[in-house]
């Protein structure tokens, strides 16, 4: 369905997390005459995105239809956030941060071909950098490493900024729980389904699986770099408020949304072992966040038409919604152009 006919198209974006809001921004950029509505029952601090650490860092598996498309999503997302970063008047919570990915197991555990192909300063960690963090007494064996500069997208600021941007461009924001996409048939010409984990029920999609995550946010303004160690131990600073996100865990198939104290102890122990100065941060109050990431073996970006309504699905980003949202938004909107 082309978006170029004479009548102004009525477009609904269902979902107001980072995926949905990036989609709405892309629709408005490409089709400024479209009537865009963002419909959701959760906004800003109520969303899963609000708890994200926000580092632009894809995993190395093929999450799109093929490796080339997956790379394009990463490239497009990087370009989108970088352009916003360079616009000093756009205070949207994006900051540049450098850091390391370390491993004790092998070079394949730190290599990331997506980042290598889009980030200019991506390189192997030096011997001195590896040794500076090597600590057998703390069971931290940094034998392999990568250094690069990326961006942290603070959703606590990005989501409100995006909503205002959408509203200022003529979009409307509707707080409403959608039980079935059929509720919107006829009311809108195009519906973008960006409902994340809720798509499991809305679309009866058995391929959507929760990945339970738990992270801790502490006050540690002296931490300037991000760190990953053997994948699931990570330390990601926020330049905006001096807090640092400590993680993490990935529990496939878990629906448990309460705090697990054992997970808390494990995260704190591993992060302090990696960066001992974090022990000082634990003398102050800290926040614990738990969320269910909407994983799918392949992110679903597909179009279907039911009578006169076009539905474009865009969900299943797992823990990489922040990283991939602008790229998948562009790909999803491309489906509407002939």
Annotated binding site for D-dopa: 234, 293, 319
Burial class (CB in 10 A: 0-12, 13-18, 19+), 138: middle
Dist CA 200 CA 188 (whole Å): 22
Q: Quick one: tokens of 131? A: 């040794």
Residue in this structure with the two tokens 């391929």, named with its chain if needed: 207
DSSP reduced 3-state for 98: strand
Question: How far, in Å, CA of 246 to CA of 270, rounded?
Answer: 9
* Cβ neighbour number for residue 77 with a 10 Å cutoff: 26
Looking at the chain, how many residues does it have? 338
Structure-token pair, residue 71: 């790379």
Binding-site residue positions for FAD: 53-55, 195, 318-323
What's the distance, CA 240 to chain centroid? 18
Strand 172-175 relative to strand 209-219, pairing: unpaired
Query: Mapping DSSP to helix (H, G, I), strand (E, B) and coil, where does residue 295 land?
Result: strand
193 with 200: CB under 8 angstroms?
no
What does the radius of gyration of the chain's CA atoms come to, in whole angstroms? 20
CB-CB contact of 2 with 31 (8 Å): no
Helix (H) or strand (E) holding 213, with range, is strand 209-219
Q: What residues are designated binding site?
A: 53-55, 195, 234, 293, 318-323
C-alpha distance across the termini of the chain, in Å:
7
- C-alpha span between 149 and 160 (Å, rounded): 25
User: Torsion over CA of 262, 267, 270 and 274, rounded to 10 degrees?
Assistant: -160
């Amino acid at each position: 369905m082309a978006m170029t006919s004479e009548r102004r198209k009525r477009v609904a974006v269902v979902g107001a997390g980072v995926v949905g809001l990036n989609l709405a921004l892309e629709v408005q950029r490409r089709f400024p005459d479209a009537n865009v509505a963002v419909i959701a029952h959760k906004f800003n601090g109520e969303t899963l995105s609000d708890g994200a650490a926000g580092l632009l860092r894809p995993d190395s598996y093929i999450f799109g239809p093929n490796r080339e498309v997956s790379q394009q999503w990463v490239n497009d997302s990087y370009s989108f956030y970088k352009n916003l970063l360079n616009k000093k008047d756009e205070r949207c919570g994006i900051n540049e941060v450098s850091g390391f990915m370390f491993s004790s197991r092998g070079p394949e555990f730190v290599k990331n071909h997506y980042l290598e192909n889009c980030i200019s300063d991506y390189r192997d960690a030096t011997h001195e950098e590896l040794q500076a963090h090597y600590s057998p007494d703390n069971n931290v064996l940094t034998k392999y490493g990568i250094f690069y500069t990326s961006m942290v997208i603070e959703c606590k600021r990005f989501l409100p900024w995006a909503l205002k941007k959408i509203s200022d461009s003529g979009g409307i924001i509707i707080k409403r729980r959608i039980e079935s996409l059929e509720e919107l048939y006829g009311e809108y010409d195009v519906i973008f389904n960006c409902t994340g984990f809720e798509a499991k029920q809305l679309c009866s999609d058995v391929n959507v699986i929760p990945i339970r995550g738990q992270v801790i946010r502490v006050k540690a303004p002296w931490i300037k770099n991000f760190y990953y160690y053997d994948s699931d131990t990570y330390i990601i600073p926020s330049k905006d408020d001096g807090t640092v996100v400590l993680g993490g865990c990935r529990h496939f198939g878990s629906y448990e949304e309460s705090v697990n104290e054992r997970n808390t102890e494990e995260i704190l122990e591993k992060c302090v072992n990696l960066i001992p100065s974090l022990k000082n941060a634990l003398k102050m109050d800290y926040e614990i966040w738990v969320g269910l990431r909407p994983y799918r073996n392949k992110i679903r970006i597909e179009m279907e038409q039911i009578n006169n309504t076009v539905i474009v699905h865009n969900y299943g980003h797992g823990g990489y919604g922040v990283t991939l949202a602008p790229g998948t938004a562009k790909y999803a909107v491309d489906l509407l152009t002939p």
